[in-house]
């Protein structure tokens, strides 16, 4: 969908969305339109008991004298109480409605929403951002159009008091949305299309934006001693990979300032569970077990797209977990890159094995100032938090607070859960340094404790378990059904607020 900005002059063609505040108050552009329609808008609102509450919609027959194909009244509540997320949700609602009724071109008038022109322009920019996020569709494999299926909205024109400033506000947000869409594409692709090497190929598209992209194959990882990661992928015909992304948007600095912020992603491109095989029902969902890696790749798309002034590195362990005569067995003991040994009691607890070597690699090579890892790691996190929050575990209070605040500001909330010695003891092994599962109690916590054993004491680290938020079975504001891209906006905001120079 193409989004454009122009001056506040209402068009007499295409669909038109008009914002209405609480108690049926039209903005100045709406008042002019109502006057041209001889009061038809005011009468329609009263007849339909339309109050102008936030996200309330009223689709009208176009009054006589207007050439528009459709007129949509959009409630926004009290303008002074509107936050950026509210404006994004309004833009999302407009696009969703226009898609549902088959309008291909629409305009929305965004005037006088702020205390001044700059505030109004920011409102217009964020409304457009919500529209962009909502416009995503994954339908590339549909070869036949269903009878009666509506065409999606192709063009949205945002009419603003200061179109140039609104366009300036939107520009970096548009790049973040592109990163979100890139992640959604990766997560939505089937496993016969996205596997370790092909995922590396997709990531190489970021080179056009200035991101350095390289990958380590099995031979290189063997030399580094990555027995934990390689053990997961040894049952697959698809060769495992370690994807490394580097973005350097800084122009100087030495010492601590030159240390990168690091992001590590779990990239299990399909997870059968291995020898500890999963039930057949729902196994098709395991194509998105690479969601953590997808977020890291999408984040670098966003950072590079908006030219973020930060030095960042991303490392993604990419494997396919398959059962075969070569597959890892329950009871096997592997040696990680750190030198620590792991007794593999359940081959379906594989993501933590992949992350163990990826986390150690990024610390050894880059000495980062902080690490955030993301993984669709445990079903237990869904039991604990449902599909509303990602689980947050960390060894650093400041980093946790930063992530929590960033999540609130972009609508991708996280909830911190505890770590502790009592939980850590649950993964002690009698045969090796540790085992890859604890008992049934606190499964997400013991998984995080496992990861913490691969974090050096002086490194601030946070783990985000995104198993419950990577895929959505129902649409939400700015998030259509399917791959959500949860984490791209969150981490982009973290970088913007705390790590850019």
Secondary element (H or E) of residue 472: strand 471-472
Q: End-to-end alpha-carbon separation of the chain, Å?
A: 33
Segment 105-162, tens digit of pLDDT: 999 999 877 667 788 899 999 999 999 999 999 999 988 877 767 889 999 999 998 9
* Structure-token pair, residue 335: 């040696």
- Domains of the chain plus CATH, in order, are 2-160 (3.40.220.10), 176-498 (3.40.630.10)
* Structure-token pair, residue 256: 């601590």
CA separation for the pair 98, 52 (Å, rounded): 19
* Structure-token pair, residue 177: 């949305």
CA separation for the pair 80, 92 (Å, rounded): 20
Residue 253 has pLDDT above 60, yes or no: no
* Size of the chain in residues: 501
Q: What is the four-CA torsion angle of 444, 447, 452, 454, rounded to 10 degrees?
A: -160
CA separation for the pair 491, 123 (Å, rounded): 22
Residue 491 has pLDDT above 80, yes or no: yes
* Structure-token pair, residue 470: 């990577």
Measured over the CA atoms of residue 291, residue 294, residue 296 and residue 301, the dihedral's sign is negative
Q: What share of the chain is helix, strand, coil (3-state, %, to 5)?
A: 40, 20, 40
Asked whether 238 and 196 are in contact (CB, 8 A), the reply is yes
Query: What is the percentage of the chain residues whose pLDDT exceeds 90?
Result: 91
The pLDDT of residue 254: 46
Segment 444-482, tens digit of pLDDT: 999 999 999 999 989 999 999 999 999 999 999 999 899
Q: Which residue has the tokens 């998984």?
A: 447
Segment 278-331, tens digit of pLDDT: 999 999 999 999 999 999 999 999 999 999 999 999 999 999 999 999 999 999
Asked whether 254 and 283 are in contact (CB, 8 A), the reply is no
Asked whether 72 and 15 are in contact (CB, 8 A), the reply is yes
Burial 339-357 (b: 16+ CB within 10 A, else e): ebbbbbbebbbbbbbbbbb
Residues 6+ apart with CB under 8 A from 468: 381, 382, 385, 386, 387, 388, 389, 390, 391
pTM above 0.85, yes or no: yes
CA separation for the pair 414, 408 (Å, rounded): 8
| Confidence band, pLDDT 50/70/90 cuts, at residue 255 | very low
CA separation for the pair 197, 218 (Å, rounded): 11
Asked whether 240 and 221 are in contact (CB, 8 A), the reply is yes
* CB-CB neighbours of 430 under 10 Å: 6
Enumerate the active-site residues.
278, 352
CA separation for the pair 486, 469 (Å, rounded): 6
Q: Which of 25-39, 108-122, 173-187, 410-424 has the lowest mean pLDDT?
A: 108-122
DSSP class per residue in 378-418: -THHHHHHTTT-EEEEES-HHHHHHHHHHHHHHT--EEE--
| pLDDT, mean over the chain | 95
Relative to beta strand 241-248, strand 341-344 is unpaired
CA separation for the pair 231, 353 (Å, rounded): 8
Name the E strands within 206-296: 212-216, 241-248, 261-271
The pLDDT of residue 256: 47
Residue 276 has pLDDT above 90, yes or no: yes
Burial 439-477 (b: 16+ CB within 10 A, else e): eeebbbbbbbbbbbbbbeeebbbbbbbbbbbbbbeeeeb
Secondary element (H or E) of residue 130: helix 117-134
* Structure-token pair, residue 96: 């969703």
């Amino acid at each position: 969908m193409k989004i454009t900005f122009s001056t506040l002059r209402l068009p007499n063609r295409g669909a038109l969305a008009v914002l209405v505040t609480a108690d049926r108050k039209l903005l100045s552009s709406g008042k002019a339109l109502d006057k041209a329609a001889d009061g038809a808008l005011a009468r329609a609102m009263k007849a339909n008991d339309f109050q102008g509450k936030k996200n309330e919609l009223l689709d009208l027959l176009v009054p006589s004298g207007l050439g528009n194909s459709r007129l949509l009244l959009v409630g926004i509540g009290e303008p002074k109480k509107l936050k950026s997320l509210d404006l994004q949700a309004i833009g999302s609602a407009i696009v969703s409605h226009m898609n549902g009724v088959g309008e291909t071109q629409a305009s929305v008038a965004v005037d006088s929403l702020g205390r001044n022109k700059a505030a109004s322009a920011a409102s217009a920019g964020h409304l457009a951002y919500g529209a962009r996020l909502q416009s995503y569709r994954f339908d590339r494999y549909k070869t036949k159009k269903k009878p009666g299926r509506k065409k999606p909205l192709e063009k949205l024109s945002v009419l603003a008091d200061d179109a140039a400033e609104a366009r300036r506000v939107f520009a970096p947000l548009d790049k973040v949305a592109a990163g979100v869409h890139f992640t959604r594409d990766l997560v939505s692709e089937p496993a016969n299309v996205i596997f370790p090497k092909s995922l590396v190929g997709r990531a190489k598209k970021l080179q056009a934006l200035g991101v350095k992209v390289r990958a380590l194959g099995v031979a290189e990882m063997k030399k580094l001693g990555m027995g934990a990661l390689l053990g997961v992928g040894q049952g697959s015909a698809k060769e495992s990979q370690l994807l490394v992304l580097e973005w350097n948007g800084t122009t100087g600095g030495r010492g601590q300032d030159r240390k990168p912020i690091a992001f590590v992603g779990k990239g299990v491109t399909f997870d059968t569970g291995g020898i500890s095989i999963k039930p057949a029902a729902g196994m098709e969902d395991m194509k998105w077990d690479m969601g953590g890696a997808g977020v890291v790749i999408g984040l670098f798309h966003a950072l590079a797209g908006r030219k973020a002034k930060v030095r960042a590195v991303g490392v993604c362990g990419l494997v396919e977990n398959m059962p075969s005569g070569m597959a890892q067995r329950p009871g096997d003991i592997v040696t990680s890159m750190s030198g620590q040994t792991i007794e593999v009691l359940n081959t379906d607890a594989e993501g933590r094995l992949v992350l163990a070597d990826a986390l150690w690699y990024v610390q050894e090579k880059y000495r980062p100032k902080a690490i955030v890892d993301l993984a669709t790691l445990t079903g237990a996190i869904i039991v604990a938090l449902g599909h509303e929050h990602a689980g947050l575990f960390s060894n650093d209070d400041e980093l946790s607070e930063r992530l929590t605040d960033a999540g609130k500001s972009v609508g991708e909330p996280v909830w911190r859960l505890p770590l502790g010695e009592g939980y850590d003891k649950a993964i002690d092994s009698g045969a090796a340094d540790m085992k890859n599962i604890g008992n049934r109690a606190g499964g997400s916590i013991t998984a995080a404790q496992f990861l913490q054993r691969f974090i050096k004491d002086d490194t601030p680290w946070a783990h985000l378990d995104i198993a419950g938020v990577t895929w959505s079975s129902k649409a939400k504001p700015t998030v259509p059904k399917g791959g959500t891209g949860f984490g791209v906006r969150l981490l982009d905001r973290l970088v913007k607020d705390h790590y850019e120079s």
